[in-house]
Amino acid sequence: MRLVLGFLAALLTTSALTPTASASPAESRPTYSYADAIRETAWVETGTDNDHDGRPDRIAADVIRPDARVRVPVILDVSPYYACCGRGNESQKKTYAPDGTPQQFPLFYDNYFVPRGYAVVLADVGGTNRSSGCFDDVASGIAVVNWLNGRAKAFDAPDGGRPVSAAWATGDVGAIGKSQDGAAAIGMAASGVAGLKTIVPIEGVADNYAQVIGNGAPFATPENTGSPFTYNERAAELCRPFDAEQKARAGTNGDYNAYWESVNYVPRAGQASVFIAQGFGDWVVAPNQFARYWDALGRAGVPRKAWLSQAGHTDPFDLQRAQWVETLHRWFDRWLLGLRNGIEREAAVHLETAPDRWTDVRSWPPATVPATFRPASDGTLGLRGSGTATVADDPAVTREQWAAGVSAAKFTGAPLPAPVRIAGSPSVTITAASDKTAARLGVALVDYGPAELRNTAEYGSGVKNLATRSCWGSSTGGDSACFLDTVADVVGVDHRIVAAGWADLGHHASLRHGEPLVPGRPYTMTFALTALDHVVPAGHRLGLLLGGTDGLLFDPALPDFGETLTFDLARMSVTVGLTKPEH
């Protein structure tokens, strides 16, 4: 740890960049009436019959568009949550007039963008809300994009009905959404569907395998995976065979197979420009999803922009509301209306370094110096490892309890003489033996020391609602543009887990083929931890935790292996990227 000063001395002294003014003041203006906007539903055929009812599946696409004789681009949010769970910090759901005409469109996109010459389309994933079919979010979104470009059929009723045209659409589409909605947008972009010009995934999944399996270790039983809880009553019955088929393709052994390869969109990043948002405190969709996708976009030369916060699973609308709306407005103007406002030449990354402290930088991750630390049997973390550590796995114990030394081996370094920023994707190499034929591993990187941080431990969002409201666009009696204001939810802590990773030791040789362990035989495995961008203040200690099953993440219904792990500390290491904190 004494080398930290040496690392800092070797780092570049690049300073943060300030936002660049737009090259052109051109922007869309609120010239159309929101109250008079056309509200309608089109049921779009996907060309499949996933629910096996003998009829083509139809996706319910609720449309709101200016009542004007102009063709307009579309902002599209494909979601399974419009009926079951809602969207935004107020869990807004779609509402409908007695005749079925959509009234409330959740979130602010319709209120703000329709008066500015955009249509907003909120599509129900197959089998959810008013759609038929089964859960296939990417195919649902692709069908809607195809309809908007004249390549798919749609009707004015869920069954039968008259054909509905999208002649009012330019065919240019931007897909947006948080969580599962963001995953759909990423998958649509990977498909190369023509007409999709940009996507704005917020806390979205790019690699579905990594979302539900940690390096060979499934986080849940097959019965508790997928999204059946979002199904409408009809799909809950008809989609059982479809869901069973998908689960059979995915397998239950944690192997990375052809199914998981088909839903890993990282290698196919390309086509559409991307404006992505991610919280480094998000344990629902961990930031390694962002980091791998962001790197792939860079390699593919895709125009990209990112908002990176220290919050949890939350929308930037609830972090810096005015700036987010303005930036999103300019992004859609650039890629859907073709207005040359210069946003693609500005600093690519808007980064929160501490609660409500933001800076703009050209790239992420920053240039770093790799530093490798090793644990020792005396509980220290330094440059040399030695001895062994033994951990009895207890699936009821969480990683937060590990940080206190419960059912985990804990190692800490010396107090840092100066603040240091750890950024990027750390990796860990583990050598361990199990006394059973199977074993789960858990690793966490910890900042030990007092701090005031966003409350993201145990899946906290890091924000909280206020009683006041602010308005973003136009309202009607059925759809208000005014939303509860938010503020950072800050708590005092004595430690913070800043990165973590999980694995099945039986997949030490390959993620594609796990194998039973020989009890007592040591195995070596290297895997990445979740991405981070965190400043460790002077006087704090960097810690490493070695455990088994993480009770915060793994489904309690999973088999309890009851293993005892013996770690060979001399053959273990964690590597992080160090740089100077942003000023």
Count of Cβ atoms closer than 10 Å to residue 405 Cβ: 11
DSSP string over 312-376: SS--GGGTSHHHHHHHHHHHHHHHHS-----GGGS-SEEEEEETTEEEEES-SSPP-EEEEEEEB
Q: Please indicate, yes or no, if residue 282 is contained in any of the structural domains.
A: no
Mean pLDDT, all residues of the chain: 94
Q: Which amino acid is at 420?
A: V
HSE value, Cβ hemisphere, 13 Å, CA-based, for 517: 25
Q: Are residues 258 and 378 in the same domain?
A: no
574, 372 contact by CB (below 8 A): yes
Q: How far, in Å, CA of 311 to CA of 495, rounded?
A: 16
Q: How far, in Å, CA of 478 to CA of 474, rounded?
A: 11
Q: Are residues 382 and 510 in the same domain?
A: yes
Task: Report the CATH number at residue 130.
Answer: 3.40.50.1820
pLDDT 10s digits, 436-475: 999 999 999 999 999 999 999 999 999 999 999 999 999 9
417, 473 contact by CB (below 8 A): no
> Which tokens belong to 7?
């690392």
Instruction: Determine whether 179 is an active site residue.
Output: yes
| Range(s) of the domain holding residue 205 | 38-269
Count of Cβ atoms closer than 10 Å to residue 100 Cβ: 12
Residue 525 pairs in a beta bridge with 430
> Which tokens belong to 422?
């750890």
Q: β-strands 532-536, 541-547: how paired?
A: unpaired
Q: Please indicate, yes or no, if residue 370 is contained in any of the structural domains.
A: yes
Question: Binning pLDDT at 50, 70 and 90, where does residue 150 land?
Answer: very high
Q: Are residues 105 and 199 in the same domain?
A: yes
Q: Are residues 435 and 483 in the same domain?
A: yes
Domain boundary among 246, 269, 292: 269
Q: β-strands 213-214, 72-79: how paired?
A: unpaired
DSSP string over 71-131: -EEEEEEEES-TTTT-BTTTTB--EE-TTS-EEE-SSSHHHHHGGGT-EEEEEEPTTBTT-
**Span 24-45, average pLDDT:** 92
Q: Please indicate, yes or no, if residue 484 is contained in any of the structural domains.
A: yes
pLDDT of the residue at 228:
79
Question: Binning pLDDT at 50, 70 and 90, where does residue 13 land?
Answer: very low
pLDDT of the residue at 175:
98
Q: Please indicate, yes or no, if residue 79 is contained in any of the structural domains.
A: yes
Closest by CA to 334, choosing from 200, 152, 501, is 200
Q: Are residues 438 and 570 in the same domain?
A: yes
**Span 152-167, average pLDDT:** 97
Q: Are residues 121 and 173 in the same domain?
A: yes
pLDDT of the residue at 50:
97
The pTM is what? 0.94
Largest alpha-carbon pair distance within the chain? Answer: 76
19, 431 contact by CB (below 8 A): no
Domain boundary among 223, 248, 269: 269
Domain boundary among 269, 295, 311: 269
Q: Are residues 8 and 105 in the same domain?
A: no
Classified as helix, coil or strand, 388 is strand
Closest by CA to 413, choosing from 546, 569, 542, is 542
14: pLDDT strictly greater than 60: no
Closest by CA to 304, choosing from 189, 180, 171, is 189
Q: How far, in Å, CA of 488 to CA of 149, rounded?
A: 42
Q: Please indicate, yes or no, if residue 295 is contained in any of the structural domains.
A: no
Q: Are residues 112 and 208 in the same domain?
A: yes
Q: Are residues 8 and 107 in the same domain?
A: no
pLDDT 10s digits, 304-352: 999 999 999 999 999 999 999 999 999 999 999 999 999 999 999 999 9
Among residues 181, 282, 318, 447, which one is catalytic?
282
Q: Please indicate, yes or no, if residue 33 is contained in any of the structural domains.
A: no
63: pLDDT strictly greater than 70: yes
15: pLDDT strictly greater than 70: no
* Distance set, CA 380 to CA 225, 405, 406, 418 (Å): 39, 13, 17, 19
CB within 8 A of 103, min separation 6: which ones? 39, 95, 96, 97, 476, 478, 479
582: pLDDT strictly greater than 90: no
* Distance set, CA 467 to CA 93, 128, 487 (Å): 20, 32, 11
Q: Are residues 8 and 96 in the same domain?
A: no
Classified as helix, coil or strand, 570 is helix
pLDDT 10s digits, 187-246: 999 999 999 999 999 999 999 999 999 999 999 988 777 777 899 999 999 999 999 999
489: pLDDT strictly greater than 90: yes
pLDDT of the residue at 289:
98
Q: How far, in Å, CA of 111 to CA of 75, rounded?
A: 12
Q: Please indicate, yes or no, if residue 31 is contained in any of the structural domains.
A: no
pLDDT of the residue at 473:
98
9: pLDDT strictly greater than 80: no
Task: Give percent above pLDDT 70 in the chain.
Answer: 96
pLDDT 10s digits, 387-405: 999 999 999 999 999 999 8
Task: Report the CATH number at residue 453.
Answer: 2.60.120.260
Q: Are residues 8 and 88 in the same domain?
A: no
Q: Are residues 469 and 572 in the same domain?
A: yes
156: pLDDT strictly greater than 70: yes
pLDDT of the residue at 583:
57
> Which tokens belong to 305?
């922009």
Among residues 79, 131, 179, 461, which one is catalytic?
179
Among residues 62, 172, 313, 504, which one is catalytic?
313
pLDDT of the residue at 198:
98
